[in-house]
Amino acid sequence: MQDVFDLVIFGGGGDLSRRKLLPALFSGFVAGRVSKDSRIFLTSRKGLEGSTEPWLKDVFKETPPACDMDAKSLKDFAGMVHVVELGLVEGGADWEALKGALAADDENRPLVHFLAIPPSLFTSTCELLGAYGLNNDRARVVLEKPLGHDLATAQAINADVGRFFKESQTFRIDHYLGKEAVQNLLALRFSNILFEELWSGRTIDHIQITIAENQGLQGRKGFYEGTGAMRDMVQNHLLQLLCLVAMEPPARLEADSIREEKLKVLKSLKPLEGAEIDRNVVRGQYQAGAMFGEAVKGYADDLELDSPSNTETFVALKAHIENWRWAGVPFYLRTGKRLPDRFAEIVIQFKQIPHSPHPGWGTNINPNRFIIRMQPEDHLALRMMVKNHSSADEKLKEVEMNLDVAGDDALRIGPYLRLILDAVRGDQSLFVHRDEVEHAWRWVDRIIGHWETSSEPPESYQAGTWGPYEAHDLMTRDRREWFHETSGKRSGK
């Protein structure tokens, strides 16, 4: 199926556009998902020197698309891309020119405005889109995170955008929700009675959700100081993944039903206060260490700060959902920079068997685990114990049942293209409602507010390690351990 649309990427020459959006769109074009009749407009304060094709070639050298790139495909794609010089604070001839360029013979042709710009420019950009009539019924607006700095700023942005775009036109993007493994998680949960019967505190011991990064600030230095991991990762990505794991089966896999169930989860999150925060939340900041055999600087030196910073680059926390399904089941969330590996995964760990009926099995029986990996590759697997046929003493071994579905790689699309195409079609199922954003901020603001009134700085951890030792204690005091799949070992060891 090919989609024909107009797409305007505000901040079209920026980091997100160059690293994620343009490679994804080119891959979609080569795979036949994006029609050559579509048009892509990239806004820039300075415009573009020279033609589009060599510029795109340089972009794709930096971030190769997930497909082969031949001269004809690049030329054809470049013919769809138009770079326009545009200010985002005041209107004028540049906006009149954009309005004229976006005029369409087909009133049903979707027009998607992707705001790959700082949130401080969301309001002025939406005001200008409204002033020039570019918020009509065929238009949608995509808002990239972070949506605000706290609850108050998020509410202000939502209110400002809402003056020019209806909620049905507003698409708040979280690219983790567009990943293939997340789609498969929903399919497995809601199309198989086997998983639904096991999906509760009756059989599940605990759930871990980890987004680990082995890089430092990587071009985000100006953004990160004063933001930190709680605002950057927990408030959106981690809490959204928690919602998808914990939500009740929706009446239909449609936007309103899915978002309604996710919102119920956020409303059921047990608020953390005072001493509970100190006990159940760990924040850390990386110090100088070694990564891949090379020395790396600490956070403050990376930013060339003259004084110490309390901005956290690591968060681990234990959360509880107060409802019947999840009562007593802890959710452990973890994210950090300069960790030993890069991956994102959800681990559903089931309870241990109550009794070992065979003396040869001993006590070394691992609990069953359902693994949902989202990066560096999509992967679903179920880990269980079976008889070890190579053992003479009837011992068991752990095996992994691969639940991946092999397919034509050319037809598989990445998260950003999937979400752009959903926005084109007006499907908000994988996007975040304003109420979800505000309830998530309400929950994390209590933690951030507690930190801001505390005299204690973030715990230190050496770059190249798994974070502060206190994050290890968060699990071990509950007689549990962190697990990560890349090495097949628990990360706490």
Q: Which residues are annotated as a binding site for substrate?
A: 175, 179, 213, 232, 337
Give the closest residue to 73 by CA, choosing from 39, 41, 32, 42. 32
What is the rounded distance in angstroms from the CA atom of residue 482 to the CA atom of residue 472?
8
**Residues labelled catalytic:** 237
At 302, is the secondary structure helix, strand, or coil?
helix
- Number of other residues whose CB lies within 10 A of the CB of residue 25: 25
What is the rounded distance in angstroms from the CA atom of residue 232 to the CA atom of residue 223?
10
Give the helix ranges, DSSP H, for 31-92: 52-62, 71-78
Segment holding 207, helix H or strand E: strand 204-212
Angle of the 52-62 helix axis to the 22-30 helix axis, nearest 10: 100
Instruction: Tell me: cis bond preceding 146? Omega within 30 of 0 counts.
Output: yes
Residues in the chain: 493
What is the rounded distance in angstroms from the CA atom of residue 141 to the CA atom of residue 370?
36
Binding-site residues for NADP(+): 45, 145
Instruction: Strands of 271-377 (E only): list them.
Output: 281-287, 289-291, 294-296, 314-319, 331-336, 343-350, 369-375
Give the helix ranges, DSSP H, for 230-273: 239-246, 255-268
What is the rounded distance in angstroms from the CA atom of residue 367 to the CA atom of residue 361?
13
Chain centre distance of CA 271: 23
Give the closest residue to 420 by CA, choosing from 432, 430, 411. 430
What is the rounded distance in angstroms from the CA atom of residue 43 to the CA atom of residue 38?
16
Q: Which residues of 249-265 are buried (b: 16+ CB within 10 A; e: fewer)?
A: ebeeeebeebbbbbbbb
Tokens representing residue 378 in the block: 């999509």
Q: Are 239 and 377 in contact (CB under 8 A)?
A: no
What is the rounded distance in angstroms from the CA atom of residue 228 to the CA atom of residue 234?
10
What is the rounded distance in angstroms from the CA atom of residue 434 to the CA atom of residue 159?
10
292: left (phi over 0), alpha (psi -120 to 50) or beta: left
Beta bridge partners of 384: 399
Segment holding 223, helix H or strand E: helix 221-224
What is the rounded distance in angstroms from the CA atom of residue 326 to the CA atom of residue 40?
45
